[in-house]
Structure 1
Amino acid sequence: MVEPRIRVVIADDDRAMRDALADLISSQSELELVGEAVNHDDVIRLAARDRPRVVVLDIRMPGGTAPATIKAIQDRSPTTAVIVLSAYENASNAIEVLAAGASAYLVKGSRDEELLEAIARAARGQLSMSAALARECVFLLRRELENERRSGAVALQNANLLRQLLDRVEAAVVLVAADGSIELVNARAARLFGYRRTELIDLPVTTLVPTSKYGEPADELLHRLVRREPPDEEPAVHFTATGRRKDGTTFPVEVSATPMPHGQRGVAVFLRDVSELSLTEARFRRLFEAFPDATVLVDTDGTIQLVNAAAEQLFGYAREDLVGQEVDVLLPEHPVTIYRREADDTRGAQDLTPVSMELTARRRDGSDFPVSVSIGRIRTDEGVQVILAMRDMTEMAGSRAALERSVETLRAAGQSHRNVLVDLVGAQERERWRIAAGIHDDSLQVITAAALRLQQLRRRLSDPEDLRVLAKLEETIRLAADRLRRLIFDFRPPALEHEGLVAAIKAYLEQLQTETGIECHLDNRLEEEPPRQTRVLIYRIAQDALMNVRKHARARRVDVRLVGVEGGTLVEITDDGVGFDVRSVEGRPGHLGLTLMRDRADIVGGWCRIESAPGAGTTVEFWIPHEGGLRRGGEE
């Protein structure tokens, strides 16, 4: 049976805000926009005429007040729920409109998802407001209640409203007096611990929460909040403890306590049963610890939360020395985006997709080394958490670094240029094959086994939250496996060995286009495949040129042309990117990529030309003869 759409009226005197709300609601298939109002009289008239399920009401409009309008709407349409939008959080205003009958109080500028969820909740008869504002409302009502108690006149209406508000908060809440005795509990707290509310009044809070996770009495932790000791501590505590029900059974509970503001004595304690979360956390920690890559969990401020054994071994730190440190200690030159994205809280789930990059890491002894970092994000109750899986790239980068150093030494010393380059290029190819085989036979197998373990675990889980966290971990492992497969492809392209040069370059261009969005075109005019050794050399030079396009060109399009010319293969690679000054780039220390392309062509009797200028794109053109190949001078 198809659920009927939720009928919505919006009321705001600001045209831009009204249009934005209308567009948002109209874009949702489960919502129906039935009217727009610009003042209080309009919205009351529309509510009476159209009987919407929800009215989204600006708190300040011409012609009336929000509380009076809410009452008028519900007098004329009792089934209509009202969501109030305000420019800022104000506990007094929130209490006023909630007392008038509003179902939600939201701040303008909140995420679209929050408003849409509030509409759905209001249609179900549920309250929506931020936890921080709910606390402020509780504190304000309690302060008024305390003041009136001192004067001997208890405000029964406020007390009842306080209880109603507490009962609508989606957490177990206990108000604790300065002496540690319980003053008030909501219905969730009573159900959680198996008591009637009246049984808990005046009992010590240690009846419910005897000690913290580390054995410290809970009432002492709360007393510190009351006394603000030590004075420089944050005015709140969060800890995990053991809760005790009336029947004597115990369970893990998460405690969040905040002192009453404005000089009031006492503490508001929010409690949550984390029994299932504890099991999930244990599973997650076992998987996290078993992950073969060096892995750390980081919050959006860049603070390290968890460290696995592989990270301890790779970086030379004990995990207790890393937890609480900034991630800069491991990745000193990282971009801040590895753990923080602009407006994270306003982005949808698609922005949690894992990504990867190559960075420089630093060990405890101060030595730097290259790492491949796979970055996955998971959304938790505490906000977005970031998983950084790091793999030492020293071995993979070593071959190229050794080649570059050897070429520089060769040029400086004037030694047997051709013979050394032949040896080095041959060694590089052998090293590429060895590394590819090692990744395939070792690392990729471990990753695949971990993925299978996760699939086995998935069949044992049923809780949606557990499955969501598991899905993010599976996605991170999938990204790591994909990156390893890409390394194998780069080091040992199967198409080059089994199908030939054209197929290998075509596969590389398809991968480049998929991963970067660069439009890639291949114009193949070869009538026959080059010999095996020659095609490997052609492919490597083309691969280096296309890697430069990927990393530096910022191009929208790249064209590759293959032509058989004078007993060899002519390759032309042209992009429409930003271009560069060829001479200045080649003269910089450490930038040997362009020189190496020329040297590879030169050692087999070919040539390579590079044409570029700032703003004019780049063309790399090279010709490799089919006869000759990679032979040392004097060899036949």
Structure 2
Amino acid sequence: MEDHGIVTLDPQGRVASWTAEAGRIGGWSAAEIVGRPFSVFYPPDDVAAGKPGRELAIAAERGRFADEGWRVRKDGSRFWAEVEITALFDGQQRLLGFGKVTRDMTKRRDAEEALRLSEERFRLLVHSVQDYGIFMLDPGGRISSWNAGAERIKGWTADEAIGQHFSMFYPPEDVAAGKPDWELEVAAEQGRLEDEGWRVRKDGSRFWANVVITALFDDRHRLQGFGKVTRDMTERRNAEQALRERRRLVGHLVDAQEVERRRIAWDVHDESIQSMVAVGMRLQLLASRLPEPHASAVAGLDESVQAAIGRLRGLVSRLRPPELDRHGLVEAVSGYVDEVAGRWGLEHSVHDELTAEPSPEAAITVYRICQEALSNVHKHARATRVDVRMSTVDNGTLVRITDDGVGTASDDAGAGHFGLVEMHERAEAAHGWLSVTSTPGQGTVVEFWLPMLPDLTGLEP
């Protein structure tokens, strides 16, 4: 038989016949081995312990002997063998000898040993993990294993937890609602379940947990139990809530600023500018009635008044750009870029790739961030060109402002600039994001994204 070395032995254990496969496994030729005691196949310590003779005695007594162990090749190397010795009797039950079948199982043993070591390393890994509670449940939900992370997170030792029902980790209201059993049912039906919610420690305190329950099936798809991984997310949840609260407060502050800007803009437009316009008209009328040089002096006053009116109108535009309400975001940003970039001597462009107009709240935030970004270009970049690109991406507005200025190391881009902090806060308050990338000698890119509509969701309970 292939892979099976078949040998016959005489009653004293000397080799009587030898197959080619036996030669391949052991290394001897038939001429070298026939007539020699089969103990040459055994390691010296087994020979010294009398193992070869004992195996023959057992086979003669019971008819058969099976064993696994180390055997020796002709070159002295060892291999792991599966051996079966069968006693051969004549019709009068007189022992004629033995049939011996040997199979080299070294590869199988090495694979089994590698698997055992892998499983042991995995067991040690699971047991030593501190940040995750990893444990097993039987099909009924009772705890059958427990790692150090589970003890650290939940407070129970392995002796206290094993054998208990895992519902002891749930608040009373969840237990009363049948949540633990429902989670096992869903995991068994769908293969896994993931959940976040309150769990209870041994001391009664609560923590916010991320939980994954995985159903474990055998080869016949029979449920053997569940694997459960728990992570304490309390700190992350508190940090997220603090961030949401900060964003909410910043959002309220930004909203209050915009309301105040609008009020001041209206007051300046409806009162100060109108009054100045009336003064200018009276000065023009007066100048038309006075002789020189008084007429020229009054005309000079009128020019000063008109210049003041122009500056006030510029202030109104910066406080609350009328184009934003009248014509939309692109017109407002384009007008502002044309005005300031032209005044600063910068080549410029505005690319409109919007497929949807953002909400008024998002539009004013985009406009304010663009204002601050362009101001930074003027103050710090020493650029000759600036380009603004607006597009609709992922149900939101993506804006990219690029200059060809001196740039800076990425880690230092915008460091210490209050304007950059304000841009970040505005973007985050609108539930978006902002990034600044810069390369020395290659300019800076300010990129930010805002959702199309304001986020109206409240805090988690």
Q: TM-score range by the shorter chain?
A: 0.3 to 0.5
Higher RCO (Cα < 8 Å, 6 or more apart): 2
Q: Normalising by the residue count of structure 1, what TM-score does the alignment of the two structures yield? A: 0.32
Larger radius of gyration: 2
